[in-house]
Structure 1
Amino acid sequence: MSRDATDAAAERPDEERRRAAPPLHARPRPLRARAPAGPLAGRLRVPGDKSISHRALMFGALAVGTTEIEGLLEGEDVLRTAAAMRALGAEVERLGEGRWRVAGRGVGGLVEPGDVLDMGNSGTAARLLCGLLAGHPLFAVMTGDASLRRRPMRRVIEPLSMTGARFAARAGGRLPLAVEGAADPLPLDYRLPVASAQVKSACLLAGLCAPGVTRVVEPEPTRDHSENMLRHFGAAVRVEDTPEGRVIELAGQPELAAAAVRVPGDPSSAAFALVAALLVPGSRVVVENVGLNPLRTGLFTTLREMGAALRVENARVEGGEPVGDLAAEHAPLHAVEVPPGRAPSMIDEFPILAVAAACASGVTRMRGLAELRVKESDRLAATAALLAANGVRAEIEGDDLLVHGLGGPPPGGGTVATRMDHRIAMSALVLGLAARAPVTVDDAAFIDTSFPGFAALMNRLAAGGERRGPGEDGPIAPP
């Protein structure tokens, strides 16, 4: 290999470099978190919103022209989507930190990939990609890591089969999955059996290539980033709340036009620093540029109901999405009951809410959490186990989680099995910052799928917002 080629390979965070390295799950990285010496303090930005990042790459690949993206999350999950779009014929180029350019092929213009599409640990990427592939006359095979291969895909296979696409999968509709897209896709008229933004988005992506109107009905409103971005790229989307649920109608076969996308900070990632500030005495933390889409802010609503000192500063709208800075200060919390209708707006945040509930006074009941059973892990069971390992009583009653709060720091001292789940790992480490004894996670490698640099960022907050020098250990470090 020439020096120029070697330099280029070293500078590009693409799929070739990742494939050359051992898979993340082959090299566990345990971490331990202990209470910091003082309060957490500082201003920070978290990585870009993962949901919006996936969609920006996909819609950019379907648009005519060149889409410029700023603030893209460069975690493993999103990089898998970037690699898949390249494999499907789009030109995807990294320009700098968080800055990417996508030269699209137009709706219906994707090409057959020459190799298997490896989606790593990302259920969002895999399910949305099913919709993208279903509307194109091509054959593709998709796989993922051990965790993703356990996750059910039947929930997207069933509606997408109605377009004329054909699927072949393992038992239970699990990956690896072969997709033969429809040559003449049919529009869908589909009612979601359960609220799922991923299934809704997969149906809309398939509907882009079909003539006529694709209609999707969801029983409860779910995150609407797909609808917002479709409009941003020029599609005609109509949304109406009706007695049967929220109805989304998409006019098929539009010509999407390239459009600049500025990705806000991920509210799911911001949650960890904010909850840590609420729990560590004397803390005050500001997370800047957080996406505040009302269908994503259920956690913040719940924390305020629990008595959290949490407020929005500098509220604004960017790229069709509400954005603001979130300030959190330490405050005593009390138990609440979280209604099932709120679950879709905070489905990824229940593990970190459970950590907050462990430190609150009283018994917090979180209702309607069936969807947590089919995340990167059985996240409902994993959350209860996380708490139990650290001296907090937690019970699962049907699809509800009950957390018996201690009204202060939990005992800690446990080792948490992360089950290849990044949110379980980060939630356990936040618990360690608030607990009386350190908390260890068996493997923190998967944090990089959504939040590269998580431990360094939290350690910076423990240092009052200052970067630590070489050899200076923060409260989150290898055991």
Structure 2
Amino acid sequence: MSEVRLNPHSKAISGVIQVPGDKSISHRAVILGSLAKGRTKVTHFLDGEDCMRTIHAFRALGVTIEKSDQTVLIQSDGFSSFIEPKEPLYFGNSGTTARLMLGILAGLPFFTTVYGDASLSKRPMNRVVSPLKQMGAYFDGRSEGDYLPISIRGGNLSPIKYTLPVKSAQVKSAILFAGLLTDGTTEVIEPTSTRDHTEIMLQAFGADVAKSDQHIKVTNKQQLTATDVFVPGDISSAAFFLVAAAIVPNSTLTLENVGLNKTRTGIIDVLKQMGGSVSINANEAIKTEPTGDITVDYSELTGITIGGDIIPRLIDELPIIALLATQAKGKTVIRDAGELRLKETDRIAAVVEGLSNLGARIEATEDGMIIHGQTPLKGGHVTSYDDHRIAMMAAISSLITKEDVVIDDTSSVAISYPGFFDDLNQVTS
């Protein structure tokens, strides 16, 4: 436990910062670098606990991975050289590691057991396990493999044509990764577009992958070839500071080299729709994923309704968007976000409780929340529930509260943003 007390902040925030590397892309860079033949160099890698779980998993499979600060070197002969792990694989709190690795392990001719911490052990895995079972993998675990720990007997998969029943890039990616280890063509159909980092990176590593409308197809025809990967700044991490600049009077803040993949930029769209002042300077030098510098100025905001197809593009940003909404005039409605209840904690309940403790007028709905603004926040105690995004939301709230904000535990912040409090101090000093 690491309780933190944050004093009220009475000044504008300003400056230029660079947020850590994108968590989703960092995971996928390690996965595909390990599946590829040759030497892959990953720069601006997210040096967080979740991404390290993926590195540890592939080391246990026999892949040589060296890491120095934010640079990762991967030397692999491809999946044909993988070995059966000698011990169960521990995924900590990383849902991304768990779901994506299940796709890999389903295709390997090994017996593997995987497990996680108490929080991850409560998160559903059947959305991934079910299609992988249809491909021929064998799983065993609580509720027929819906919860960790899970044992996998992989190999001898058959291709599948699968329509996603949930809006989940993790499910899509797990099936596509399994498809790399399957004879024939595996096809995923997503009715609503989700983040497409997997498809982009598959192409970069030379996979036989094709995308047409909402259909993504992959085969095992091509041996993946190692390539260098630059990981852009994580827009989910940037969101906390984008919101900070938007709600603290007279603030101006620039975040450099942030990923601007259109499947992830819902937070920018919401800021603009609410009347926020946002400008973007694109970085044309980085080709794989679009990146750029984002500058946000303080401005008066108006409440809006957030729902439908935009939700997958900002699902991880909804806790900090809820804080943003407390400072917007009028009512903000967040709907179609029932997935929030299946994150590290029930984020709908945690956000409503935390912001209510600070004086916000907010109520939970089955699939979202309603926030009534503009409301001054008084300060108070916030329980993070060991969820990094709840802890960081509470920390940003201290920039506009009248009294101290006390967060029960901030250790979870290391999962996605180890230097968060250093950057917070930088822009407020």
Mean Cα displacement is larger for which, 437-446 or 290-299? 437-446
- Residues in 2 aligned to 1:316 and 1:223: alpha-carbon distance in whole angstroms: 21
Q: Where does residue 48 of structure 2 map in the other structure?
A: 75
Q: Where does residue 91 of structure 1 map in the other structure?
A: 64
RMSD: 1.2
Shift of 1:388: 1.1
Q: Where does residue 196 of structure 1 map in the other structure?
A: 168
Q: Where does residue 271 of structure 2 map in the other structure?
A: 303
Q: Where does residue 98 of structure 2 map in the other structure?
A: 126
- Residues in 2 aligned to 1:89 and 1:309: alpha-carbon distance in whole angstroms: 49
Is residue 419 of structure 2 the alignment partner of residue 447 of structure 1? no
For the 8 Å contact 1:195–1:220, the answer to whether it is kept is: yes
Alignment match of 1:388 (pick from 356, 366, 371): 356
Is residue 5 of structure 2 the alignment partner of residue 39 of structure 1? no
Is residue 241 of structure 2 the alignment partner of residue 247 of structure 1? no
Alignment of 1:175-186 (within 5 A): 175-182=148-155, 184-186=156-158
Shift of 1:108: 4.3
For the 8 Å contact 1:290–1:324, the answer to whether it is kept is: yes
- Counterpart of 2:333, as a letter, is R
Shift of 1:319: 4.2
- Residues in 2 aligned to 1:212 and 1:34: alpha-carbon distance in whole angstroms: 59
Alignment match of 2:428 (pick from 453, 462, 466): 462
1:216-274 deviation line (CA, Å, top 9, x unaligned)? 01120000000000000001221122xxxx11111224200000000000000001111
- Residues in 1 aligned to 2:188 and 2:160: alpha-carbon distance in whole angstroms: 7
Shift of 1:317: 5.5
For the 8 Å contact 2:10–2:399, the answer to whether it is kept is: no
Alignment match of 1:48 (pick from 17, 21, 29): 21
Q: Where does residue 315 of structure 1 map in the other structure?
A: 283
Is residue 205 of structure 2 the alignment partner of residue 233 of structure 1? yes
Mean Cα displacement is larger for which, 103-112 or 354-363? 103-112
Is residue 310 of structure 2 the alignment partner of residue 338 of structure 1? no
- Counterpart of 2:233, as a letter, is G
Q: Where does residue 170 of structure 1 map in the other structure?
A: 142
2:399 is paired with a residue whose SS is helix
Percent sequence identity is 43
- Residues in 1 aligned to 2:395 and 2:246: alpha-carbon distance in whole angstroms: 15
- Residues in 2 aligned to 1:219 and 1:201: alpha-carbon distance in whole angstroms: 15
Is residue 114 of structure 2 the alignment partner of residue 148 of structure 1? no
For the 8 Å contact 1:351–1:423, the answer to whether it is kept is: yes
Q: Which runs of 5+ in 1 are unaligned?
A: 1-27, 464-479
Is residue 123 of structure 2 the alignment partner of residue 136 of structure 1? no
Alignment match of 1:417 (pick from 354, 358, 383): 383
**Using a 3 Å threshold, how does the CA distance of structure 1 residues 160 and 109 change in structure 2: closer, same or farther?**
farther
- Counterpart of 1:137, as a letter, is P
Q: Where does residue 377 of structure 1 map in the other structure?
A: 345
Alignment match of 2:295 (pick from 327, 331, 344): 327
For the 8 Å contact 1:163–1:185, the answer to whether it is kept is: yes
For the 8 Å contact 2:7–2:403, the answer to whether it is kept is: yes
Q: TM-score by structure 1 length?
A: 0.87
Mean Cα displacement is larger for which, 101-110 or 395-404? 101-110
2:264 is paired with a residue whose SS is coil
1:203 is paired with a residue whose SS is helix
Q: TM-score by structure 2 length?
A: 0.97
Q: Where does residue 88 of structure 2 map in the other structure?
A: 116
For the 8 Å contact 2:2–2:409, the answer to whether it is kept is: yes
For the 8 Å contact 2:307–2:337, the answer to whether it is kept is: no
- Residues in 2 aligned to 1:382 and 1:397: alpha-carbon distance in whole angstroms: 13
Alignment match of 1:260 (pick from 207, 221, 228): 228
- Residues in 2 aligned to 1:142 and 1:297: alpha-carbon distance in whole angstroms: 33
For the 8 Å contact 1:214–1:252, the answer to whether it is kept is: no
Q: Where does residue 245 of structure 2 map in the other structure?
A: 277
Stretches (4+) displaced over 3 A: none
Is residue 392 of structure 2 the alignment partner of residue 438 of structure 1? no
Is residue 393 of structure 2 the alignment partner of residue 427 of structure 1? yes
- Residues in 1 aligned to 2:8 and 2:159: alpha-carbon distance in whole angstroms: 55
Shift of 1:145: 1.0
**Using a 3 Å threshold, how does the CA distance of structure 1 residues 124 and 429 change in structure 2: closer, same or farther?**
same
2:93 is paired with a residue whose SS is coil
- Residues in 1 aligned to 2:285 and 2:216: alpha-carbon distance in whole angstroms: 23
- Counterpart of 2:56, as a letter, is A
Shift of 1:32: 2.3
1:21-53 deviation line (CA, Å, top 9, x unaligned)? xxxxxxx11112333242111101011000000
